[in-house]
Amino acid sequence: MRIAVLPASPKTGRATIKALLESDQLTTPLHVQGIYRDPSKAPAEFLSHPSFHAGQGDLSDANTLELGGVDMVLAITPPRYDASDILQWARVASENTRLAIQKAGTVKRVVLLSSTGAEQPSGTGEIMTNHIAEEILQHAAPEVIFMRCAYFMENWESAISTVRTDNPHFYSVITPLDYRVPMVAVDDIGRACATYLLGLEPPRSPYVVEVRGPQEYTVNEVQQALHDAVGQEVEIRPVKKEDFPDFFGRFLPQSSVGLFVEMTNSFLPGGVIASAIPNPDVRVYRGRMGLGECLGKISVPAR
Ligand SMILES: NC(=O)c1ccc[n+]([C@@H]2O[C@H](COP(=O)([O-])OP(=O)(O)OC[C@H]3O[C@@H](n4cnc5c(N)ncnc54)[C@H](OP(=O)(O)O)[C@@H]3O)[C@@H](O)[C@H]2O)c1
């Protein structure tokens, strides 16, 4: 069985390759093809594995994407915060992925890395990139699976730098601080995607899986996990909704700020995603890594 990860650089692609290479494929030899803009970026631990090889490909150019002989594809819409129009970028990347799959003619299953809320046709900001990808890829192969992932626990990595100062603190756009939000570790996303790439049962197409961690978490619990990770008290600095444009404007290009404001509002109480009625037909994959373990892994001990 030949599985392509397109592209392989994103942290979710890397976690999936790791899970695939660690899986027990006793009956069928497994070949994993990681597609990189720059194949020299493929990690040494993958390159030394006999079932892995790195190929070159850029999602912005369909002619560079070669999937001949591939059975399964993990498709990812890589975030491009430098793009002037990130929704247009999602269209280009997804169309090029679809064209490459069509040209190959061998792909039986596409597993698409997507997001909670991607079913919403509007009002979700940056998550619209995942909605666009689902729309474009929904008929790309006989079997298509949407992996709708929750908020990545690794998003809190940006808090580590302010937690490691003399006034340990972090900013939270998630309020109220006791509001429970589904979160998931990227390692669990990798295991979930590998499970659905290798699964023998043909799912109906498209087939939707919500990918979550073992439980939902509050920002107060994030504070506790950061405290445990760095061994000192950590202050939460909540960001008010009216301050979102200024907050996101500090580290994002102006063209992306509005989409991040809308996305954040969509999963806070009263937002489009938070208010959506759960669909009983959607499967939920529960990962095993807790927030404490994940933040402990990505934190550097305090000075
Ligand atoms: N963060 C969240 O909470 C969250 C939640 C749910 C879903 N998601 C979704 O998860 C998906 C994956 O996110 P991620 O965090 O894994 O991504 P990421 O780690 O930010 O990956 C971005 C990488 O994509 C590669 N890339 C960019 N343009 C490319 C191109 N034209 N061709 C090939 N590769 C290209 C770049 O690597 P090189 O420079 O090495 O080429 C870049 O470093 C996104 O679709 C996001 O919307 C995120």
Segment 67-103, tens digit of pLDDT: 999 999 999 999 987 778 999 999 999 999 999 999 9
- Examine residue 219 and state whether it is found in any structural domain, yes or no: no
Scan for tokens 């000075």, then name that residue. 303
Distance 233 CA to ligand 1 centre (A): 32
35, 37, 92, 251: which to mutate for ligand 1, most atoms within 8 A of CB?
A: 37
Kindly give the pairing relationship between strand 143-149 and strand 207-212.
Answer: parallel
Q: How many structural domains does the chain have?
A: 1
Percentage of residues in the chain having pLDDT higher than 90: 88
> E strands within 165-226?
169-172, 181-184, 207-212, 216-217
In-domain check, residue 191: yes
Residue 140 burial (10 A CB sphere; 0-12, 13-18, 19+): buried
144 CA distance to ligand 1 middle (Å): 20
| Neighbouring-strand partners of residue 211 | 149, 285
Compute the distance between CA of residue 136 and CA of residue 70 in angstroms, rounded to an integer. 20
Q: What are phi and psi of 131, to 5 degrees?
A: -60, -45
User: Is residue 30 one of the residues assigned to a domain?
Assistant: yes
Tell whether 19 is covered by a domain: yes
- State the CATH number of the domain containing residue 23: 3.40.50.720
Give the tens place of pLDDT for each residue, 195-251: 999 998 888 889 999 999 999 999 999 999 999 988 889 999 999 999 999 999 999
Q: Is residue 7 part of a domain?
A: yes
Domain of residue 204: give its range: 2-152+184-213+279-287
- Cβ within 8 Å of residue 104, ≥6 positions away: 66, 67, 68, 69, 70
pLDDT digits (tens, 9 = 90+) for 28-54: 789 999 999 999 999 999 999 999 999
| Residue given tokens 């900001």 in the structure block | 125
User: Considering the domain boundaries, does residue 101 fall inside one?
Assistant: yes
| Beta-bridge partners for 149 | 115, 211
User: Ligand 1, atom 38: nearest CA belongs to which residue?
Assistant: 9
Mutate to test the pocket of ligand 1, among 152, 252, 262 (most ligand atoms within 8 A of CB): 152
- The pLDDT value recorded for residue 303 is 43
Residue 225 lies in a domain: no
Measured by CA distance, the residue closest to atom 36 of ligand 1 is 9
Ligand 1 shell residues, CB under 6 Å: 7, 9-12, 37-38, 41, 58-60, 76-80, 113, 115, 129-130, 149, 151-152, 155
CA of 61 to the centre of ligand 1 (A): 17
Confidence of residue 301 (pLDDT cuts 50, 70, 90): low
Mean pLDDT is lowest, of 3-12, 65-74, 170-179, 226-235, for 226-235
Q: How many residues would you count in the chain?
A: 303
- Residues 101-142 pLDDT 10s: 999 999 999 999 999 999 999 999 999 999 999 999 999 999
Q: Is residue 122 part of a domain?
A: yes
Q: Other CB atoms closer than 10 Å to residue 210's CB: what's the count?
A: 22
Q: What is the pLDDT of residue 29?
A: 87
